[in-house]
Chain A
Amino acid sequence: MSAQAKKYSGQPLKRVEDPRLVKGIGTFTDDVRLPGLLHAAFVRSPHAHARVTGIDTQAAKAVKGVVAVLTGADVNEKCGVVPCAAAIPDLKLPKHTVLAGERVYFVGHPVVVVVATDAYAARDGADAVDVSYDPLPVVINPEEALKPGSPLTHPDLGTNIAFTHNVNGGGDIDEAFRKADRVIKQRVYHQRLTPMTIEPRAVVASYHAGEGTMTIWSATQVPHYLRTLLPGMIGVPENKLRIIAPEVGGGFGAKLNVYAEEALCGHLAMRLGAPVKWTESRRENATSTIHGRDQIGYYEVAVKNDGTILGLKARTVADLGSYCQLLTPAVPTLTGLVLTGCYRIPSIKMEIVGVYTHKMATDAYRGAGRPEATYLIERLMDLIAKELGLDRVDLRLKHFPAPTDFPFATACGVTYDSGNYQGALEKARQLADWKGLMSERAEARKSGRLFGVGVSTYVEICAIGPSAAMPAGGWEWGCVRVEFSGKVTAITGVSPHGQGQETSFAQIVADQLGVAIEDVVVMHGDTAVAHYGRDTYGSRATVLGGTALVMCTDKIVAKGKIFAAHLLKTTPDKVEFSGGTFSAPGAAKELTIGEIALEAYVAKNLPPGLEPGLEASSFFETPNFTFPFGTHIVAVEIDRETGRVDIKKYIAVDDCGPQINPLLVEGQVQGGIAHSIGQALFEQTVYDENGQLLTGEFMDYPIPRAIDIPEYILGHTVTPSPTNPLGVKGVGEAGTIGATPAVANAVIDALESLGVTHLDMPLTPERLWRVVNQRSVAGVGA
């Protein structure tokens, strides 16, 4: 990275994306209208498990405006199966076709697609399809699914176990448990969540029969993944397939996928010779877009009486739902990568059992595996402190590696890049007025109030990922072009969908090239423009995409120096570049990068051997993940009569390295904490015992609203990552990872006087009222 004065990086600039979004003139997939556009609607299974005994499409075909009514028998041979890219040895995969075959295995499973000249006719047609079902036995609970004699999610697989994955790391685990003074055990349930992006999924597919080219607009986080994987499904070669992710209204992992509907719309556009649109309804979004979490863990930790942790054993039952989407089985294995949190834990043993049940597939949801790990280790730290009568903060400090211990190799087999966990904890305690908060807690408890303080110190994995850790490349691509006019176009292979990189990447590029930020445009999300990319997920975009752009600007500056030397009649090594201007000692004049660009394109006075133009592209391969960290402290009070949790104070200190745009960082942290509060206190995807989804609408699935969010006190520390020239670490998931255990620990701390040491989430009023009430009835209460 060239040494440039940073005019824009570090500034809390407002998002350049916002004016068009606030005005309602952004283009989302559903806004795409093409001549002759047809509309698709799906008939979906009302059963969690059933044999399809008949499909009568006659009435549907007679509905005015209906163009086609197609079943699995019509399309499945022509469309490849929904891909799973997770590299798990011995993974048992059901063949998940784009429409159901002879069996449906979750409520919302698409059975028939109806295509019509407008969306109303398509829906009328779908209602007119008559599907006969013969219900089959259902299994919903993953632990029941493991029992002998359980109904099978897929009878042909002969088992509900998709895979068993073992992680053993560090020292001898058996010896650790032999040497232990005590073993503390806990079962922890990480409930199923629905991502509930405000924009549901949407697809428009358009096929040019003459050229044999296909353009697909999709509300996706991963246009490049689609371009890589859809050719195998629909038979359009990669170099004739263009994917456009226009404005995307939230993803959180739910749109990090390749869905049946995306392939099917492509196939229908070819088959019917007209463009086809499908926009998901909210209920379809709830039943048929991936869910998150749903892990049951049994944990045992071996400790000495002074609190020293010797080893950790875990058995996790991960509910995969009924089939595998792109990364379904990989998500629980991510839990295994960061199981030890920010602590020295010398040995671990983890067994992850992936189980099929008759529910929607789980997959990556904001944090994807790391929230589960963090929640678990942070709960365990509190349990250990409680059991041994130790201070929970001291216990955490005792196990932190020192800032000088980095790079720090963990028993989970990863190496943390950099860290100062003590610094973030101290800063959080300072912002929280820790002593004052603890006396407030003591005072409140004296008068019988249920007041609790929770702490979570977390580390997470970002910048996913090094290619070695990914099924198909973990690098990132970028291209920067200084145009004829001196304006700058930066093209990134990441696919922002709310993160704001049109702004933060412009800050990076403007600083690197010394140009005004208004002169930089950041383009993304169209594979015809951003030829290569690995898209946006896993808090990777700024680390990888930002660095790829820095590499491009470095190349541009190097080429600019050759031009400048030629024009200034000196040698490139004598040329300095600063503030957008090339200069050389003793030269008669200076040249701006714009002037150099003009010379480079006019090309009448080229340095010998140099190509015209001022453009560079780069791939960045990272040597490692990054490991952001932080401390969250939260104070809550529970209303004894109603069980309602009131968040009195919320402090978050996050260290994501240097911040390109602190306003964007704050937005990410705030949003992440909001997600966490939702998970800790009220969100849960609920299926009944028959596999009917009871939380299929916003009427029943509570997402956090402004009124649920306390005023945050946010701070940060800055520990650069050595993995990249920007030193950045990533922040998209930090809030979700750090906050859930802090809130849960606070609520459980508030119930300390009742002898409560653990409760599963969500910590709803009724759940808490029951705890308080039953204890009171038993005479244990305060």
Chain B
Amino acid sequence: MFAAPFEYLRPSTVDEAVALLAQHGDDAKLLAGGHSLIPAMKMRLAQPRFIVDLGRVSGLSYIRESGNMIAIGAMTTHYALESSALLGSKCPLIPETAQTIGDLQVRNRGTLGGSLAHADPAADWPAAILALDAEIDLAGPQGRRTVKADGFFVDLLQTRARPDEVLCEIRVPATSKQVAYEKTEQKASGFAIVGVAVVVGKGGDVRIGVTGVASCAYRAKAVERALAGQAAASSDAIARAASHAGDGIEALGDIHASPEFRLHLVEVNTARALRRAYEIKN
């Protein structure tokens, strides 16, 4: 468990980080918590020549209101998100999701931006970010740009962020309390076998983000459509809608859950998350 040799670089601003990425190209990896990167390096599955540590970049760890949105710095830890009173009252899906991640030690080191940029197909955050229809700010050599969460996750460990960009900020809308995250844990790793995040918006629109099932997180749009405009869905309507949660999805399979079981669980967890979000008692 000894990483291959690498050079450690520690920028103090986002611009410096972007410049280092531009300089070293594919030989560089950003370190933003390290819970995926460092194990991969210790097993020598990843052998970057340069590690660009974002840990000392100032101004990347914050949670603040910005108009109707809440802006979160990319280097904000899971624990900070879990324990934020602001998010607890204005965007409770974020703390609810955060507290299902790993254990306290993981949550004290791992970051939202690191998780989103890594795009592990079983990570928890992508489900919440999709359900919240978040905005993501990326800084690159040409300056900053904003992308929507919907479409950000492209494939296994692949996002719309370009290799020379640094994920800087995530903005999520203030929501009601009508949110829920239903997760089935992979017993060993604690990652999601299936995680379903639900946000019921004003006017009854519902958004559903799903992680763990496919090679990247997705919006369960068939379910969203079936429930569109229903301010108070019935349990039956939810069950019918949730049966579409895996429509058209090519599910992953491994020793922890077969594709068939994942496709079953995504329906169950979607229905459970919806019932909770709509505040329907079982």
A247 → chain B, closest Cβ, in Å?
20
* Interface flag for B230 (CB, 8 Å): no
Most A CB atoms within 10 A — which of B44, B188, B189? B188
Which of A118-126, A336-344, A362-370, A664-672 makes up part of the contact surface?
A118-126
* 0 or 1 for each of B169-192: is its CB under 8 Å from A? (1 = yes): 000000000000000100111000
The yes or no answer to A328 lying at the interface (CB within 8 A) is no
Q: Once the chains are docked, how many angstroms separate the CA of A703 from the CA of B189?
A: 10
Within 8 A of B (CB), among A680-716: 682, 686, 694-695, 698-703
Q: Contact between A769 and B261 (Cβ–Cβ < 8 Å)?
A: yes
Q: How big is chain B's contact interface, by range? A: 20 to 34
Known: A641-B268, A686-B255, A769-B264. A701 touches B188 (CB 8 A): yes
A18 at the interface (CB under 8 A from B): no
Determine if B237 is an interface residue (Cβ-Cβ < 8 Å). Answer: no
Give the residue name and chain of the A residue nearest to B43 (CB).
A283
Q: Nearest-CB distance from B245 to chain A (Å)?
A: 13
Q: Which of A127, A642, A694, A770 contacts B44 (CB 8 A)?
A: A127
Q: What CA separation (Å) do A745 and B186 show in the bound complex?
A: 24
Q: Are A642 and B255 in contact (CB under 8 A)?
A: no
Could you tell me the distance in whole angstroms from the C-beta of B51 to the nearest C-beta in chain A? 15
Looking at the assembled complex, report how far the CB atom of A59 sits from the nearest CB atom of chain B, in whole angstroms: 14
Residues of chain A within 8 A (CB-CB) of B268 are: 641-642
| Shortest beta-carbon distance from A154 to chain B in Å | 28
Q: Would you give the shortest CB distance from B264 to chain A, in whole angstroms?
A: 7
Given contacts A641-B268, A769-B264, are A700 and B188 in contact (CB under 8 A)?
Answer: yes
Q: Which of A124, A699, A703 contacts B5 (CB 8 A)?
A: A124
Chain A 623-642: CB-based contact to B (< 8 A → 1; otherwise 0)? 00000000000000000011
A699 touches B255 (CB 8 A): no
User: In the complex, which residues of chain A have a beta carbon less than 8 angstroms from the beta carbon of B189?
Assistant: 698-700
Chain B's interface: helix, strand, loop or mixed, by majority? loop
Complex CA gap A642/B1 in Å reads 36
Contact A766 B257 (CB under 8 A): yes
Count of A-B residue pairs with CB < 8 Å: 47
**Residue contact B188 to A642, C-beta cutoff 8 Å:** no
For A765, list chain B residues within 8 Å (CB).
184, 261
A642 lies within 8 A of B258 (CB): no
B4 at the interface (CB under 8 A from A): yes
Cβ–Cβ < 8 Å partners of B187 in chain A: 682, 702
Closest to A644 in B: B184
Known A642-B265, A702-B187; judge A282-B5 contact (CB<8 A). Answer: no
List B contacts of A122 (CB < 8 A).
Answer: 2
- Considering the complex, give the chain B residue whose CB is closest to the CB of A698: B188
A263 to B256 alpha-carbon distance, docked (Å): 37
Q: Is the CB of A124 within 8 A of B4?
A: yes
Q: Are B2 and A119 closer than 8 Å at their CB atoms?
A: yes
Q: Does A58 contact B (CB under 8 A)?
A: no
Q: How far is the CB of B228 from chain A (nearest CB, A)?
A: 25
Point out the residue from A281, A694, A766 that lies within 8 Å of B1, measured CB to CB: A281
Segment 745-782 of A: residues with Cβ below 8 Å from B: 765-766, 769-770, 773
256-282 of chain B: CB within 8 A of chain A: 256-258, 261, 264-265, 268
Residues of B contacting A682 in the complex (Cβ-Cβ under 8 angstroms): 187
Q: How far is the CB of A131 from chain B (nearest CB, A)?
A: 16
B164 CB to nearest A CB, Å: 29
Nearest B-chain residue to A773, judged by Cβ: B264
A639, closest chain B residue (CB): B268
Which residue of the partner chain, among B4, B188, B261, contacts A699 with CB atoms under 8 Å?
Answer: B188
A120 touches B255 (CB 8 A): no
| Residues of A near any B CB (own CB < 8 A) | 119-120, 122-124, 127, 281-283, 641-642, 644, 682, 686, 694-695, 698-703, 765-766, 769-770, 773
Shortest Cβ-Cβ A-B pairs, 10 listed: A702-B187, A702-B188, A123-B2, A281-B1, A699-B189, A766-B261, A641-B268, A120-B2, A682-B187, A700-B188
- Known contacts A283-B43, A700-B188, A770-B261; 6 additional CB pairs below 8 A are A124-B4, A686-B255, A695-B188, A700-B256, A703-B188, A769-B261
Pairs across A and B, CB under 8 Å, 8 listed: A120-B3, A123-B2, A123-B44, A282-B1, A699-B39, A700-B188, A700-B189, A765-B184
